[in-house]
Amino acid sequence: MKLTAHDVARTIDISALKIDTSYQDLEAMVGACKKYDMGCAFIWQGFSADLARMLKGTTTQLGTSLAFPSGQETTENKVQQAIYFMSLGADQIDMVMNVGYLKSGFYERVHDDIMAVRKTARGFSLKVIIEAMLLTDEQIVKASEIVRDCGCDYVKSGTGFQAAPTTLHHVALMKKTVGDHCKVKAAGGVRDLDTLVKMYALGVERFGIGMASAIKIVEQAEKFPSGVDVPVLDINEYAEAELSAVK
């Protein structure tokens, strides 16, 4: 199997989410969307209406994030944010799970928080960010199970705001847990074509990537006119790799 540069671009949810993101950054990101036909674009909430307007006439979808990047806002806030973004015509809604609830063992609260948004955003693609790099393997499995059981479209590895990156182990464990019941999005530390292709081989279907790295990755893929080979990887091997290393 091969991925063309266009295939790669369509898997990417490009973002401009630095603390000092400006309107000029927004314009640059939209320019990249138009040039490379990126799959989806994300910006801070204050620029969301501008992004929605600027993407009209393109095939790049409008992405929005709820309680980003902490996830510790109230459920009511998340629901109201979802309603606002739906009014803008959002195609992809990403929400941050309350990691504090999960690490406290408050699994019912985690479920109810996600489910409130899922019910509000019926008919919209909903991804839940679990911040895998802050979790143990057992917690990654539990979080992925809750996301799956809430009927969400994707379980997403991270916000990109942690120093530690999403690893092949993280995404393999997430995919093995959710199976075909929901999809997997990788975000946080996906900065080169090799990482993207390996994660794709492990079942990742979307990638949240900052603007500079997103452009770099597509340009790397363009150097392979006939497409980039996707390796055959054993998901079980990668899902168990970190556990084996500890033993």
**CATH code, domain with 138:** 3.20.20.70
Contacts of 246 (CB under 8 A, 6+ apart): none
Domain with 130 in it: 2-246
Q: Is the pLDDT of residue 79 over 50?
A: yes
**pLDDT tens, 200-219?**
999 999 999 999 999 999 99
pLDDT, averaged across the chain:
96
What pLDDT does 242 receive?
56
Q: What angle, rounded to 10 degrees, do the helices at 23-36 and 48-55 form?
A: 30
What's the CA gap between 95 and 117, in Å, rounded? 8
pLDDT confidence of residue 181: 97
Report pLDDT for 237: 95
Q: DSSP letters along 235-247, please?
A: HHHHHHHHHHHH-
Q: What's the structural domain count of the chain? A: 1
The pLDDT of 131-157, averaged and rounded, is 98
pLDDT at 244 over 80: no
What residues are labeled active site? Answer: 94, 156, 185
What dihedral angle (degrees, nearest 10) is formed by the CA atoms of 152, 182, 207, 128? 30
Is it the case that residue 195 has pLDDT exceeding 60? yes
pLDDT in tens, 12-26: 999 999 999 999 999
Where do we find the tokens 């948004």? Answer: 117
**What single DSSP character describes residue 37?**
T
Q: For the residues 163-167, what does the mean pLDDT come to?
A: 97
In this predicted structure, what is the pLDDT of residue 241? 62
Beta-bridged to residue 183, according to DSSP, are 154
Q: Residue 239: count other Cβ atoms within 10 Å of its Cβ.
A: 23
Summarised one tens digit per residue, pLDDT across range 5-62 is 999 999 999 999 999 999 999 999 999 999 999 999 999 999 999 999 999 999 999 9
Q: Give the separation between CA 124 and CA 111, rounded to whole angstroms.
A: 18
Element (H, E) at 86: helix 75-87
- Percent over 90 (pLDDT), the chain: 97
SS3 state at 124: coil
- Mean pLDDT calculated for residue range 139-161: 98
Give yes or no for residue 245 having a pLDDT over 70.
Answer: no
Q: Has residue 131 got a pLDDT over 90?
A: yes
Asked if pLDDT for residue 162 goes beyond 80, the answer is: yes
CA distance 41 to 62: 6
Residue 14 makes CB contacts below 8 A (sequence gap 6+) with 29, 32, 33, 38, 39, 40, 41, 42, 209, 210, 211, 214
